[in-house]
Chains A and B, each alone.
Chain A
Amino acid sequence: MIDDDLRDLYQEVILDHGKNPRNFRHPEDASHKALGNNPLCGDRLTVYLRLDENQNIRDAAFEGKGCAISIASASMMTDMVKGKPLAEAQALFERFHRMCTGDDDGGVADGFEDELEKLKVMSGVRQFPMRVKCATLAWHTMNAAAEGEDAATTE
């Protein structure tokens, strides 16, 4: 018997991304990369970006070890930000972060409706405060990579 909060957390989409992560590779032509570290659990992800001269994300990929939530989040994120202008990806992170922490009213129309609909599967972490950092690690790391920092931490 699995309770509803757990089912919310471990939805099929998350389990699928966790087991078969997309963009799990090291692109040789990456222009930016950063190592994300969650010191509480020791999880580590490296996020790679290839930005063009107009700050568009041409490629996004990652490698590393982590729980189902953090791997699924990295997988979905890399899929989602590929092809987007960096500024848009960072704005999406803002919205996603608020969604995970429960501060999001969901009412602001900012053109991310499709993305947020997909990312909704991650919002189950709201019931598990210790796991919010698992969901946001990849995004923090993407941000760090784009900003030219070598490392991100969830602390």
Chain B
Amino acid sequence: MTNVVNLTEPIGAGAFDVEAIRRDFPALSLEVNGKPLVFLDSAASAQKPRAVIDAMTRAYESQYANVHRGTYHLSQVATENYENARAKVAQFMNAKSPDEIIFTHSATAGFNLVAHSFGSMLEAGDEIIVSVMEHHANIVPWQLLRDRTGIEIKVAPIDDAGNFLIGEFEKLLGPRTKLVAVTHVSNVLGTVTPVKEIVRLAHDNGTPVLFDGAQGIVHEGVDVQDLDCDFYVWTGHKLYGPTGIGVLWGKSEWLEKMPPFEGGGDMISLVTFEKTTYREPPARFEAGTPPIVEAVGLGAAIDYVTAVGPDRIAAHEKELLDYAMLRLADVEGLRILGRAQQKAGIVSFEFGDVHSHDVATIIDSAGVAVRAGHHCAQPLMERFGVTSTSRASFGMYTTRAEVDALAEALEKVREIFG
């Protein structure tokens, strides 16, 4: 099975029923400030379908015990469910084996794991390449590693439209480049980076590649064997699953070489005070009681996304994006940041000289929820000479009417700020 999506595939008539999908998400029928909720912040965290909520309730009510330990029935059920979720994740990303799937607590935890474990094999003077549009989660762990070991961080630039500059990136690759860690899809600009080109150039240089897939897995999907990258990090809650669970996929040849990051129960083979041996991946990297029920919830989210169809979700979001770019262009004083040729359903904008927090507060009174601020990407804000933006982001349940509601709510901002 492959989950690579085809953005050019049209949505067939009746094939994608957004209203039916919306009915599966309890939160979407909420009212806020007396108005129907217009939820345009899925890139921060997506709402959950009832299937996810129900699966987690069921897991807590009748399938719950600790995993990998008990010899009794309930523990075996919980362990099976947990490992089934791992298999679903592996299939969803087209990983070679579930053993390449490490459950973490978040995407952030995935970056930190690689920075500590893979990072411990680096030396002063070694180099890591990130891009200017990284989330802080793909910047700060490398800076902490730099402080520990003296590595250097190089930053790949973008153009004013937000396109990743592959030629400039290529120039940064050198004999000391030990890792490329860049985003698949920018959480601010929506830019889809040329991931295959990045992998090809890095591998030609003998350098492994890590992708931040927090947005990429949601909006673009990934087939890690086809892409041939080395690490892919993402989180459950942006893919309509629960918080508290993330995924680090790594090629087994890397994972087998990497030392443990956190120590504790479940990751050991034999412990004595003189010497402890560690289990094989993925167990080596999952110290302590894992997010058991969260894994079940993530499995249910993957089932839901798979049933709707990742390709059809991507096509729906692309159509919405095209509509939003046109509709918002009509709003006087609105400036969109990020017009990359390859772009996912994320629209950052400035509105006149009104601060994004004022915009967000005012349109919230119309029930419209957008993210305001620096989006955990301050270096990118600096790149564009702004301190913050407003950001509308789309999910499978977003409608054109909600894009219209955003545009109309912005008129309220104009009314107040003149």
List chain A positions with a Cβ less than 8 A from chain B: 2-3, 5-6, 9-10, 15, 40-44, 65-69, 128, 130-131, 134
Q: Give the nearest-CB partner of B362 in chain A.
A: A6
Interface check B406, CB cutoff 8 A: no
Could you tell me which residues of chain B, from 379 to 407, have a CB within 8 Å of some CB in chain A? 381, 387-388
**B398 CB to nearest A CB, Å:** 24
Residues of B close to A65: CB separation below 8 A: 387
Q: When the two chains form the complex, which single residue of A2, A9, A15, A42 contacts B361, counting CB atoms closer than 8 Å? A: A9
Known A15-B417, A41-B387, A42-B381; further 12 A-B contacts with Cβ < 8 A: A2-B416, A10-B358, A15-B418, A41-B388, A42-B374, A43-B357, A44-B387, A67-B356, A67-B357, A67-B358, A68-B417, A131-B361
Q: When the two chains form the complex, which single residue of B354, B372, B412 contacts A2, counting CB atoms closer than 8 Å? A: B412
Residues of A close to B417: CB separation below 8 A: 10, 15, 68
In the complex, A1→B294 CA distance in Å? Answer: 43
Could you tell me which residues of chain B, from 345 to 362, have a CB within 8 Å of some CB in chain A? 354-358, 361-362
- 5 residue pairs of the A-B complex, CB under 8 angstroms, read A2-B365, A41-B357, A42-B387, A44-B387, A128-B361
**B409 CB to nearest A CB, Å:** 11
**B250 CB to nearest A CB, Å:** 31
Q: When the two chains form the complex, which single residue of A6, A67, A130, A134 contacts B365, counting CB atoms closer than 8 Å? A: A6
Q: When the two chains form the complex, which single residue of A6, A41, A44, A66 contacts B372, counting CB atoms closer than 8 Å? A: A41
Residues of B close to A9: CB separation below 8 A: 361
Residues of B close to A3: CB separation below 8 A: 33, 365
Could you tell me which residues of chain B, from 197 to 228, have a CB within 8 Å of some CB in chain A? none
In the complex, A65→B388 CA distance in Å? Answer: 10
Q: Are A5 and B388 in contact (CB under 8 A)?
A: no
In the complex, A131→B364 CA distance in Å? Answer: 13
Q: Are A6 and B388 in contact (CB under 8 A)?
A: no
Q: Are A68 and B365 in contact (CB under 8 A)?
A: no
Q: Are B387 and A43 in contact (CB under 8 A)?
A: yes
Q: Give the nearest-CB partner of A44 in chain B.
A: B387
Residues of B close to A6: CB separation below 8 A: 361-362, 365, 416
Q: Are A134 and B357 in contact (CB under 8 A)?
A: yes
Q: Are B358 and A68 in contact (CB under 8 A)?
A: yes
Q: A2-B415, A42-B381 are in contact. Are A69 and B365 (CB under 8 A)?
A: no
Interface check B45, CB cutoff 8 A: no
Interface check B378, CB cutoff 8 A: yes
Q: Are A10 and B357 in contact (CB under 8 A)?
A: no
Interface check B373, CB cutoff 8 A: yes
Residues of A close to B381: CB separation below 8 A: 42
Q: Are B378 and A42 in contact (CB under 8 A)?
A: yes
Residues of A close to B365: CB separation below 8 A: 2-3, 5-6
In the complex, A64→B362 CA distance in Å? Answer: 22
Residues of A close to B362: CB separation below 8 A: 6, 10
Q: A41-B357, A43-B388, A44-B387 are in contact. Are A10 and B416 (CB under 8 A)?
A: yes
In the complex, A65→B354 CA distance in Å? Answer: 11
In the complex, A34→B214 CA distance in Å? Answer: 36
Residues of B close to A66: CB separation below 8 A: 355
In the complex, A132→B412 CA distance in Å? Answer: 22
Q: Give the nearest-CB partner of A15 in chain B.
A: B417
**B391 CB to nearest A CB, Å:** 13
In the complex, A41→B381 CA distance in Å? Answer: 11
Q: A2-B416, A68-B354, A68-B355 are in contact. Are A41 and B374 (CB under 8 A)?
A: yes
**B367 CB to nearest A CB, Å:** 12
**B333 CB to nearest A CB, Å:** 15
Q: Are A69 and B416 in contact (CB under 8 A)?
A: no
In the complex, A27→B387 CA distance in Å? Answer: 24
Give the 3 A-B residue pairs with the shortest CB-CB distance, closest first. Answer: A67-B355, A42-B374, A67-B357
In the complex, A2→B412 CA distance in Å? Answer: 7
Q: Are B416 and A131 in contact (CB under 8 A)?
A: no
**A123 CB to nearest B CB, Å:** 15
In the complex, A139→B22 CA distance in Å? Answer: 45
In the complex, A68→B352 CA distance in Å? Answer: 13
Interface centre among A44, A65, A68, A69 (most CB of B within 10 A): A68
Residues of A close to B412: CB separation below 8 A: 2
In the complex, A9→B417 CA distance in Å? Answer: 12
**A64 CB to nearest B CB, Å:** 9
**A76 CB to nearest B CB, Å:** 17
Q: Give the nearest-CB partner of B376 in chain A.
A: A42
In the complex, A73→B111 CA distance in Å? Answer: 39
**A113 CB to nearest B CB, Å:** 29
**B225 CB to nearest A CB, Å:** 39
